[in-house]
């Protein structure tokens, strides 16, 4: 049976296979994307980020049930942090995203290995797969406050930053530059002492930033604030849908640039590695027979030929 036919029907095996192709088989992935690209770029994407252990997975587990009841068909992509998290303490405490059989939500981890560009690439295409399979919104969980988060904020229509009152990290995280990316800021674990204080601090730091973000307290333990969060998401999704076409155009522009840059970088890397004309010109520069500018022009011409 054709993979795209099964994907269109939302068959789980087909989705899993397609995302694996995206991650592991560039040639097959290209053929697949060629078939599904045309209808892509309409589903809402929600990025949920924040420090390790803040409760992102717990929050997503509960929120998708509400989103489902509110009439949407969510899927979740968790960018697996195992490759860059060291030490077992955090991992040991992680909540596995469980899928209740009646929820119909698709949940899957994708690897975060490789360059930032590689993550963006597999993320963008995994989103296309899930959209083709009928899911909307597509929720992306990612951990930390690094470059990956900024990349994900570019891909997400709505960015949610989750803070954890349990550690002193949170204020540092706020200062470290997450202040710009969030549409919604959540202080989770409101059942713990320290949450109210952090909520106040977040309001002070972020409350009157230009984006005018929503700031909320939630607890996945007591379910406090989760329905409110879900309703806000739904409202924002409707709002963002109005500008989705333009956002998609801008995203495609930056995706295209990424791919071209990456192609050229690969060519350059293999040229440096294989030598040939490069080492010929290098020797000429080293023996002062040619100046570096002239040599670089000649090498560059060879690459773009
Ligand atoms: N008290 C309390 N604990 C919570 C709450 N939400 C999550 N937790 C706990 O916090 C720990 C981490 O939760 P996760 O949902 O795995 O957090 P995460 O942000 O997805 O973690 P990583 O994916 O590892 O970054 C687990 O032990 C949860 O049970 C909450 O609202 N209150
Ligand atoms: Mg998690």
pLDDT in tens, 252-269: 999 999 899 988 888 888
66 lies in a domain?
yes
State which residues of the chain have pLDDT below 70: 1, 81-104, 112-117, 144-148, 166-178, 304-305
Give 94 Cα–ligand 1 centroid separation in angstroms. 7
pLDDT in tens, 32-90: 999 999 999 999 999 999 888 889 999 999 999 999 999 999 999 988 765 443 333 34
32 lies in a domain?
no
226: CATH: 3.40.50.300
Report the number of distinct structural domains present in the chain.
2
How far apart CA 111 and CA 21 sit, in angstroms, is 13
Sole residue written with tokens 């604030």? 225
2 lies in a domain?
no
Whether 229 and 297 map to the same domain: the answer is no
* 220 Cβ closer than 6 Å to some ligand 1 atom: yes
197 lies in a domain?
yes
177 lies in a domain?
yes
* 102 Cβ closer than 6 Å to some ligand 1 atom: no
From 48, 58, 110, give the residue whose CB has the most ligand 1 atoms within 8 Å, as the site to mutate.
58
Whether 284 and 172 map to the same domain: the answer is no
From 81, 220, 226, give the residue whose CB has the most ligand 1 atoms within 8 Å, as the site to mutate.
220
274 lies in a domain?
yes
């Amino acid at each position: 049976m054709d993979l795209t036919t099964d994907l269109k029907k939302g068959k789980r095996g087909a989705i899993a296979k397609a995302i694996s192709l995206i991650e592991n088989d560039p040639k097959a992935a290209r053929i697949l994307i060629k078939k599904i690209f045309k209808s892509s770029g309409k589903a809402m994407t929600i990025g949920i980020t924040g420090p390790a252990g803040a409760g992102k997975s717990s929050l997503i587990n509960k929120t998708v049930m509400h989103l489902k009841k509110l009439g949407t068909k969510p899927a979740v992509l968790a960018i697996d942090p195992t490759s860059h998290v060291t030490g077992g303490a955090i991992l040991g405490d992680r909540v596995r995203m469980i899928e209740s059989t009646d929820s119909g939500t698709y949940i899957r981890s994708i690897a975060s290995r490789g360059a930032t560009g590689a993550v963006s690439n597999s993320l963008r295409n995994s989103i296309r797969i899930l959209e083709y399979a009928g899911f909307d919104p597509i929720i992306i969980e990612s951990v930390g406050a690094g470059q990956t988060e900024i990349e994900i904020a570019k891909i997400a229509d709505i960015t949610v930053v989750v803070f954890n009152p349990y550690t002193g990290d949170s204020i540092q995280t706020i200062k470290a530059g997450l202040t710009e990316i969030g549409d919604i800021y959540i202080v989770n674990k409101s059942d713990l002492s320290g949450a109210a204080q952090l909520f106040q601090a977040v309001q002070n730091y972020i409350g009157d930033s230009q984006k005018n973000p929503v700031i909320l307290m939630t607890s996945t333990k007591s379910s406090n604030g989760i329905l409110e969060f879900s309703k806000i998401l739904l409202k924002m999704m409707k709002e963002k849908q109005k500008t989705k076409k333009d956002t998609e155009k801008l995203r495609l522009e930056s995706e295209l640039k990424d791919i071209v840059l990456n192609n050229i970088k690969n060519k350059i890397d293999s040229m440096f590695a294989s030598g040939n004309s490069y080492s010929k010109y290098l020797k000429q520069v080293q023996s002062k027979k040619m100046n570096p500018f002239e040599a670089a022009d000649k090498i560059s011409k060879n690459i773009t030929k």
